[in-house]
Structure 1
């Protein structure tokens, strides 16, 4: 970043006016790095939660060690706001216990009495709440939570209690929060991250969609808290140096208590909200259960290996078959996964003498690892703990694991999923494209020199191509599908991992501006192709890969396209097993 800064300074003729110090601010010393205490502080150490990038400790050090008394500070003040909401979409992201009970399939990831053993971390989650506006019921007016005067030393910790009156009947599933910056001392310049449903003079600016600052969501435990219109509830809010947390309790004691307060456990397995929602999804569970049951019916006393971090698959196999022996690799969960299985085994009707978690990672497996028995069933969702923010094809790690296990697989081994299919769709993504476009002049300063390093699309120097980026398509602002979903290439898991190539000629079905392609993998669980688990844009709990075009292309439909409009595109892709990368090329016609 220092190198890029110096390039920008040089190209704008400012090299002599600015002294760049390649240090953290809390490493600076007056009289060594700077000649005297500073009169002005400018900072942008903000994340969606406001405090997560270390705003408080950084400003504490600055006020104590680097600044004069009563300095000029930009931003001058920051205020956090919140609102109580009801939302089934948000509720599904954390209440696995209730959603699993609806599935009624006999699999208990969160058994009765162990309601919080598998849960999300208690924290604020950044999210584009505008994308689910129609699925949110507002239960209160917006309320102010914390005000941080940045012109003076901020406190490390703070606490407040708020009496909030309900404006609707409903069930509080979450607290949606945002912040507003007052940038100048006079109070004439503001910036807000409020959702679009908030109507205020501050929020009527032309601020567009951005990916770096979103709203935040704090989940209310369990099924949430029922409230009636006009009722007052008590919200306790606390902030540390880097985060804000909430505790919501009614003023009047109720007979209904959220199930998470009934029992506590010393051990908890923490998973991301999207993984909790997947495990609570009845359709997904039925597909996995059916595929595993069908596979087990073909083997008498199978040796089954779960190659990924799927606790659901391990429990499902052990629950469905009394004769199956299960080896779970749990490459990410490790000992935590093993402890979790031991805790829920009784509730799922199996004993740990039939389930083994291999605690060591190996590059080559032998019969010694499987007690001299060949593997009959190799399974994955695929899901790898810690891969949640990565591109879809990173889960082809399952194919790599399958190849490593090849020496111990039986000749008629059943592999699930038996293949992956790379799918794609041409998309109009104006908000996302603009947020990743190359830079030019910003407030009169030429920044184009940074594009070779930072640019993802726009005026990039050929032959530089923009990378594929992981995104939840449904959170990408304005979106529109311009083509049918098409297959790019397939990954055959019945064979060891290898290079793959594929291409498809795609005709546009909708006119518009094409900004790129959404890509994802559909996992085919059985050789009959009857059970397919999609991770596409219509599925909210998986990130897709997005290949942004260097420049947007105007497209039309075949036979109706106007002069200059493209009616089709040729997509070519290749998979490199050594790097795990998928390379995408496109030609419009």
Structure 2
């Protein structure tokens, strides 16, 4: 059956109706999943196998049959481990139909169909009995229901139901327990991901300060955790105010409750400072003795000799406190972790050693200032980047005149405030959503500009002359930034918006930025290549079906094949020089003809060519640019530094395999890059040359 799906094109802003089959959403979910990463996580797989062998062994020592329940089986890997370890039978539960189908094929391929039953249901719908999905309760419970926050994939409700209805009392569980750890830190960099800091602008009539809205001061922020690769955050970017403490534990072999709760630990600050952020992670013990441990601890917690496994499916958590609070060395404070059935959040209390007053914080935090609804964490960092702001201030000083009528087109941008402070006669800002309109209205009011800057809540194509008070725009500005953008070129929506408002511009209008360019470089990733690496075999089991499944599902329609990734979290080295491949001139309207460039890019360094990285650079005025990608190639080895505020586009080559030291299979890459103005799509094709 075919269906038609309406989808807003991030680049053109137009709604497109695309014909899809009924499994389209499934395909997209598989494409964005981490199945390959998990299957290639050797440390995870080995620890699970060890824990499963030990659990089966303990059951057999008691003279019992080993009946396994595997919740969230995915590929069926853990179930196959259990049977290999001697389990008599395994019930493998998987609610996601395409994965359940794949698991059935993989189990059959590995000749385990007689001992593994795939149940395509949510575990809370599974029944036990002669006519049920399971003939009897299991005495071994195996799960992999965890995310970076541990409980974010619904582990607690699933465990609660399983203990009530699906497993025997006192069952063996793999993993056996989990421990959540936390560390209190001060970090200017991380705090800039959560609050809008004051921005100072030097104008002709003195210094102006752009302030945040009052509601943001005590706003708890975005309700979701910020999961990042903490191993890529330099130790100098934060100051530890406490030692690492165990906040709470969950024993999976005993009944588990999904009820909301809290756990308080007393901290003894190891130094004085501003408590701003809680860094958190967890580890799991695969056996009761704790001798088989899988940990997410970052590098500064583990010993120097540890070979820290790389993972992208489990990372570490950054939790922001509602406001910064001064803590003093030697004066204890209480850190409380709250949780509901899916989320964790933290609060800090000073001078309390009991749970008095705790109940006021049990409610899951929700943004009350609206800024966290419009701006994600990287966007906060971008707005707080003083060097970036300085580029826009310099460009505006060059472009502005006393009689300038300015129109800003970006989502929730502070450029209108900067333009006003730097002397624009009249400033209009186009906000296409009710959230951005409401937020900017509050920011303008906090800066006493509610009567100075006019907000127009419209899409560009709906603009009429009266919206601009019948005036012509002499300066059109944009960062550009749009909240719907995923890939670097999606912000080219500014070009389409500029074209839509062309009739309202003066003949000598200044466009800022005046142009943009798309850049490309061939890289070798240290670890990121693993997420698209073939699975083939895993712990001796044939799981190649997943390779075909992932390959067939990689249909990133926004770019044809590129994927967005924040490369500051994923080290890589350049194998080629960066190359400018396409330019987009905003001083003119969007052309009708396709922009295209073909050529050959020579590889200058040895290494494995994992893929191409693409990013945008915006040219504000002659000599002033803002880069959204490569900042520099740091040394002769080619290690790259990337802007932390944006995601870059990564095109993985089809032959992604584990790199071999000091070898290179290719000496050049042939490329063809095209931009279709009609669709807004960037298409690309690459061929590795010997």
Q: Judge same fold: TM > 0.5, yes or no.
A: yes
Other-structure match for 2:337: 237
Give the drift of 1:17: 3.9
Q: Which residue of 2 is the match for residue 227 of structure 1?
A: 328
Contact 1:456 1:467 in 2 (8 A): no
CA-to-partner distance for each residue in 1:91-127, whole Å, 9 max, x for gaps?
Answer: 3323433x5369996252405x555388842653111
Residue 300 of structure 1 is matched in structure 2 by: 403
Deviation at 1:567, TM superposition (A): 4.2
Supply the distance in 2 between the matched residues of 1:447 and 1:579 (Cα, whole angstroms).
37
Counterpart of 2:575?
482
Q: Which of 244, 255, 265 in structure 2 is aligned with 1:142?
A: 244
Q: Deviations over 1:342-399 (max 9, x none)?
A: 32334434334740232x5475655465555544333321212253xx2212222222
* 8 Å Cα contact 1:81-1:177 kept in structure 2: yes
2:398 is aligned with 1:284: no
Q: Secondary structure at the match of 1:435?
A: helix
The question of whether the paired residues in 2 share the 8 Å contact of 1:162 and 1:234 is answered with yes
Deviations for 1:7-62, whole angstroms, at most 9, x for unmatched residues? 32333233444333322222333456514453133221111111111111222222
Aligned to 1:74: 174
Distance 1:445 1:89 in 2: 44
Query: What does residue range 190-269 of structure 1 map to in structure 2 within 5 Å?
Result: 190-199=293-302, 206=307, 208-222=309-323, 225-228=326-329, 230-251=330-351, 267-269=369-371
Q: Which runs of 5+ in 1 are unaligned?
A: 254-264, 557-561
Name 1:393's counterpart in structure 2: 489
Q: 2:263 pairs with 160, 170, 174, which one?
A: 160
Quick check: 2:670–2:688 contact (8 Å CA) kept in 1?
yes
Change (3 A) 1:167 1:347: closer
Q: Distance in 1 between matches of 2:322 and 2:552?
A: 39
Q: C-alpha separation between the residues in 2 aligned to 1:175 and 1:569?
A: 44
Partner of 1:417: 513
Match of 2:145 among 45, 48, 52: 45
**In 1, Cα distance between the equivalents of 2:600 and 2:343?**
49
More deviation, 391-400/208-217:
391-400
Query: Are residues 1:25 and 2:114 paired?
Result: no
Change (3 A) 1:374 1:102: closer
Moved more, 398-407 or 238-247: 398-407
The answer to whether 1:379 aligns with 2:477 is yes
Q: 2:438 aligns with which of 339, 344, 349?
A: 339
Match of 1:440 among 517, 536, 542: 536
- 1:100 to 1:224, Cα distance in 2 relative to 1, 3 A: farther
Q: Quick one: distance in 2 between partners of 1:530 and 1:194?
A: 41
Matches of 1:429 and 1:417, distance apart in 2 = 32
Q: Deviations over 1:244-286 (max 9, x none)?
A: 1111234399xxxxxxxxxxx9644212222112111211112
Query: How many Å separate the matches in 2 of 1:247 and 1:44?
Result: 29
Q: How many residues align?
A: 553
The aligned counterpart of 1:546 is 650
Q: Which shifted more, 484-493 or 100-109?
A: 100-109
Instruction: Return the offset for 1:503.
Output: 3.8
**Residue deviations 1:536-561 (CA, integer Å, cap 9, x gap):** 353111111122223369999xxxxx
**Contact 2:487–2:564 (Cα < 8 Å) also in 1:** yes
C-alpha distance in structure 2 between counterparts of 1:102 and 1:129, whole Å: 33
Aligned to 2:234, the other structure's residue is in SS state: helix
Distance 1:119 1:575, change over 3 A: farther
Specify whether residues 415 and 186 from structure 1 end up closer, same or farther in structure 2 by C-alpha distance, changes over 3 A only.
same
Give SS of 2:118's match.
coil
CA contact under 8 A between 2:407 and 2:477: conserved in structure 1?
yes
- 1:311 is displaced (CA, Å) by 2.7
For 2:283 and 2:215, locate their aligned partners in 1 and report how far apart those are by CA, in whole Å.
Answer: 40
Distance, in Å, in 2 between the alignment partners of 1:33 and 1:404 is: 61
Residue matched to 1:94: 194
Structure 2 portions without partners, runs of 5+:
1-98, 354-366, 631-640
Q: What do residues 300-349 of structure 1 show as CA deviations (whole Å, max 9, x unaligned)? A: 252x43332033123333444463140413x3xx2232223332334434
Instruction: Tell me the SS of whatever aligns to 2:655.
Output: strand
**TM-score (normalizing by structure 2):** 0.72
Distance in 1 (alpha carbons) for counterparts of 2:474 and 2:242: 56
The answer to whether the 8 A contact 2:400-2:424 is kept is no
- Taking the aligned partners of 1:196 and 1:179, their CA distance within structure 2 comes to 14
Residues 570/323 of structure 1: CA separation in 2 closer, same or farther (3 Å cut): same
Q: What is the CA distance between 1:2 and its match in structure 2?
A: 2.6
Aligned equivalents of 2:499, 2:560: Cα separation in 1: 31
Cα deviations by residue, 1:48-82 (Å, 9 ceiling, x for unpaired): 11111111122222223333333332222111011
Which string of whole-angstrom CA distances, capped at 9 and with x for unpartnered residues, describes residues 481-505 of structure 1? 3333221211222221553212454
- Looking at structure 1, the residues matched to 220 and 280 of structure 2 have their Cα atoms a distance apart, in angstroms, of 21
Query: Is 1:502 equivalent to 2:600 in the alignment?
Result: no
> Among residues 214, 222, 234, which one is paired with 1:121 in the alignment?
222
Compute the TM-score of the two structures, normalised by the length of structure 1. 0.83
Q: Distance in 2 between matches of 1:268 and 1:401?
A: 25
**Partner residue of 2:454?**
355
Secondary structure of the structure 2 residue equivalent to 1:438: coil
